[in-house]
Structure 1
């Protein structure tokens, strides 16, 4: 069911943290850096501060689905890491999706509507 490429190793995440730019809103933090590939790699980080494993997995699923449904709207060639903040745990899908889209716009990763 997974249609996107993932960041998997700690080293890959650390590279994005060190060399990428970050933007944040109330619910999420998004790190972004160019990856010299013709596709995006997406990573999700949800710490134990957000909640127990059930809550963390729910937040992860919401983020993954938000990204998957809108992936075609984003520019390609970037490594992206989304960090969930504690405030996201009680929110629904539409709030999570709009928070992710907001950060993608701030990073200028959303494709122009004309194309």
Structure 2
């Protein structure tokens, strides 16, 4: 992860839980809060309910790799905490990747989503001006 630091301390996670906005889907829960910095900070939490340490490490690696592959598409300046649900232990990389992308779109953190959304608004404004 070239551009992203990790959230490591308990107080960092608690801050994001308390101040952040959460959205969930089948595999993951994501909390996001602005941090006012140049880059993002990512924290990944996988509970012991998910499985033993080998399984938890595998799920963590899947999430981290999915994030790494789309890191350049993510808007900077946010603290992000991703929590894996129990069903995530049986998920493939593609399912985790799709879930993570879905949550980032819901939080409007993907640059491509933001740019497309702004272009649509501009097109609507142009149509309204022509009338």
Query: What root-mean-square deviation, in Å, do the aligned CA atoms of Structure 1 and Structure 2 show?
Result: 1.2
Runs of 4+ that moved beyond 2 A: 112-115
Structure 2 unaligned blocks of 5 or more: 117-131
TM score, norm. by length of structure 2 = 0.84
2:70 alignment partner, SS class: helix
Larger radius of gyration: 2
- Structure with greater contact order relative to length (CA < 8 Å, sep ≥ 6): 1
Aligned residue pairs, count: 114
Partner residue in 2 for 1:18: 18
Show the counterpart of 1:110: 110
- TM-score w.r.t. the length of structure 1 is 0.95
Deviations 1:58-102 (A, max 9, x none): 000000000011000010000000000001101110000010000
**Higher normalized helix content (fraction of residues):** 2
